[in-house]
């Protein structure tokens, strides 16, 4: 399998140059280099065998070009793979959190905005959860940042196992995670949050011959009529999370459940209900 990390320094420099120039300038430059190389080989062969039959010189030049073509093609293919790997890394870095592998906050908000809008438009259920790892500062002081990073990766994995395929998960910041659950009513959201809390509370990370564990506080907010923006839903979840912290941590708290948003009535239907004007 192609491994971009195993490439030489000069290949990485070529890749960086190609990324800076763009597709068309890089294609033109590579084509020019290949043409110049073939012409150079031809002229060198003609010069070396110039005292003999000219057709022989051309045959030798053509043979050299054919001999070196696989190496030129290998270079071009290697550069292409390197560029594709670099593009995939850029795409991943633009949407994923490097530490946990979950969505980053910006990408999550873009995806959740669409789901929230759909819930509001069709008066469907939806819920947002914010999880905060308890006492992470104390754990970092006692065991170090590397241990807390490993523990946060484990917490993300455990939370992921409690989610469905359509659910969204992201690192919200520091030791906090955020999840959006489409088509989930308030009772279902509390059930998911409680399963997450129990899984994390029973998990122990093996570290330096010992065990390190943490608990989480979770705030839950369900989409309601007053959530006219996604940020309003986030603020309700943050408020519930603060209540969970004040209740002693390692617990789940939910914001007050609101009525669903009523979708706007189509204009034609509204006209039929009102009847004709007199």
Instruction: Decide if pLDDT at 31 tops 80.
Output: no
Q: Which pLDDT band holds residue 25 (cuts at 50, 70, 90)?
A: confident
Q: Which pLDDT band holds residue 83 (cuts at 50, 70, 90)?
A: low
Instruction: Decide if pLDDT at 52 tops 90.
Output: no
Q: Which pLDDT band holds residue 269 (cuts at 50, 70, 90)?
A: very low
CB atoms within 10 A of CB 43: 12
Rg (alpha carbons) of the chain, rounded to whole number: 30
Note the pLDDT tens digit of each residue in 170-226: 999 889 999 999 999 999 999 999 999 999 999 999 998 899 999 999 999 999 989
pLDDT score of 262 = 64
Instruction: Decide if pLDDT at 2 tops 50.
Output: no
Instruction: Decide if pLDDT at 111 tops 50.
Output: yes
Q: Which pLDDT band holds residue 89 (cuts at 50, 70, 90)?
A: low
Contacts of 83 (CB under 8 A, 6+ apart): 15, 18, 19
8 Å CB contact between 167 and 173: no
8 Å CB contact between 130 and 172: yes
pLDDT score of 278 = 39
pLDDT score of 187 = 96
Instruction: Decide if pLDDT at 156 tops 90.
Output: yes
Which class does domain 105-254 fall in?
A: alpha beta
Helix (H) or strand (E) holding 31: helix 23-48
Most confident of 20-24, 75-79, 263-267: 20-24
Residue that wins the pLDDT comparison between 278 and 128: 128
pLDDT score of 155 = 96
In this structure, what token pair is assigned to residue 169?
Answer: 């998960």
Instruction: Decide if pLDDT at 116 tops 80.
Output: yes
Instruction: Decide if pLDDT at 141 tops 50.
Output: yes
pLDDT score of 177 = 97
Enumerate the domain spans of the chain. Answer: 4-95, 105-254
Q: What are 82's strand-pairing partners?
A: none
d(CA 19, CA 87): 9
In this structure, what token pair is assigned to residue 176?
Answer: 């906090």
d(CA 7, CA 2): 9
Q: How confident is the model over 81-95, as a mean pLDDT?
A: 60
């Amino acid at each position: 399998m192609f491994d971009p990390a195993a490439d030489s320094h000069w290949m990485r420099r070529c890749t960086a140059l190609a990324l800076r120039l763009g597709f068309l300038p890089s294609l033109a430059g590579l084509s020019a280099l290949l043409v110049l190389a073939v012409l150079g080989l031809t002229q060198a062969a003609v010069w070396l065998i110039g005292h003999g039959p000219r057709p022989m010189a051309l045959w030798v030049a053509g043979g050299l070009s054919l001999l070196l073509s696989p190496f030129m093609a290998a270079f071009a293919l290697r550069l292409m793979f390197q560029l594709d790997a670099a593009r995939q890394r850029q795409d991943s870095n633009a949407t994923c959190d490097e530490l946990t592998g979950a969505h980053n906050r910006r990408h999550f908000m873009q995806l959740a905005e669409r789901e929230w809008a759909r819930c509001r438009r069709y008066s469907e259920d939806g819920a947002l959860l914010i999880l905060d790892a308890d006492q992470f500062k104390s754990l970092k002081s006692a065991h170090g940042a590397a241990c807390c990073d490993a523990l946060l990766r484990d917490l993300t994995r455990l939370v992921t196992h409690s989610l469905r395929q359509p659910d969204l998960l992201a690192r919200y910041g520091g030791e906090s995670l955020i999840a959006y659950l489409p088509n989930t009513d308030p009772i279902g959201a509390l059930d998911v949050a409680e399963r997450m809390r129990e899984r994390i509370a029973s998990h122990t990370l093996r570290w330096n011959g010992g065990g390190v564990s943490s608990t989480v506080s979770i705030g839950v907010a369900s989409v309601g009529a007053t959530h006219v923006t996604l940020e309003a839903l986030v603020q309700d979840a943050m408020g519930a999370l603060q209540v969970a912290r004040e209740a002693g941590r390692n617990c789940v708290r939910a914001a007050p459940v609101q009525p669903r948003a009523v979708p706007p009535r189509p204009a034609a239907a509204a006209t039929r209900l009102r009847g004709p004007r007199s």
